[in-house]
Amino acid sequence: MLLVKKKKKMENLQKLEHRLGVVFKDKNLLKQALIHRSWLNENPESGLANNERLEFLGDAVLELVVTEYLYKGYSNPEGELTNWRAALVNYVNLSEIGNELGLNEFLLLSKGEAKDMGRARQVILANTMEALIGATYLDQGYETVAKFIKQNIICDLEKIIKSKSYKDSKSLFQEQSQEKFGVTPNYRVLNETGPDHDKIFEVGVYLNEELAGKGSGPSKQEAEQKAAEAALDK
């Protein structure tokens, strides 16, 4: 029975390697990239580590590869390049790519986390993408991981530029408010609820002292985006 389980796990890793286009020398690195900390809470005897250190490394590698690509390939101002990079590496885009690669099939999650298919799963998928990038960098080196990032993430750049989706709600609202009213919006936290590990922030965006919109979210940044969206709708 143990041999059957081991064989199945190896077949799953091979299936994932095929999708990623990378064959790992150290299969343990690949496996670690898929382990969410919640799984370890239910499997403390496994002797394995979660993917958070790999995610930390992968985040830096991803930003370097994208930044280098933009710097060498485009002569646009720094502000535009920053916005393009942010659109490529944000958790929403990374989670969509992770979903396309079928990472849900390979994630090691607790029973509770496995049931959640909302925003929390998006964040887990994005973090797993970064962990896989970190693992690929350690196992294969810079050239291989750069190739992976270009084929799976940077490939969306032209679509992002053409659709102008790199302009988030805060950027768009600032452009419009400066153009129409000559005022730069300012954001203020109106309320915080919930425990430290699960806070909800309510933020207001103001034009001078006039409240233009309100929004809520699990981080100040997301609440600010929602406030800007509300202001744009007005």
Per-residue pLDDT tens digits for 7-66: 444 568 899 999 999 999 999 999 999 999 999 888 888 888 999 999 999 999 999 999
pLDDT of res. 6? 38
At residue 150 the predicted structure's pLDDT band, cuts being 50, 70 and 90, is very high
Contact 28, 107 (CB under 8 A): no
Pairing of strands 186-193, 210-217: unpaired
Per-residue pLDDT tens over the stretch 177-234: 988 889 999 999 999 998 877 789 999 999 999 999 999 988 888 899 899 989 988 8
∠ CA 232-174-162 to the nearest 5 degrees? Answer: 80
Among the listed residues 55, 59, 139, 224, the single catalytic one is 59
Query: 76 Cβ partners below 8 Å, 6+ apart?
Result: 84
Residue whose structure tokens are 């999650």: 109
pTM over 0.85: no
Distances (CA, A) of 80 to 109, 124, 211: 37, 28, 28
Contact 213, 220 (CB under 8 A): no
- Counting beta carbons within 10 angstroms of the beta carbon of residue 180, is it exposed (0 to 12), middle (13 to 18) or buried (19 or more)? exposed
Query: 111 Cβ partners below 8 Å, 6+ apart?
Result: 42
Per-residue pLDDT tens over the stretch 170-184: 888 888 898 888 999
Q: Is 194 left (phi over 0), alpha (psi -120 to 50) or beta?
A: left
Distances (CA, A) of 10 to 27, 32, 50: 9, 14, 19
Is 209 part of the annotated catalytic residue set? Answer: no
Among the listed residues 55, 113, 130, 168, the single catalytic one is 130
Q: Nearest 5°: phi and psi at 191?
A: -160, 150
* Mean pLDDT, residues 92-121 taken together: 86
Q: Which domains are seen in the chain, by residue range?
A: 2-163 (1.10.1520.10), 169-233 (3.30.160.20)
Is 179 part of the annotated catalytic residue set? Answer: no
- Amino acid letter, 41: N
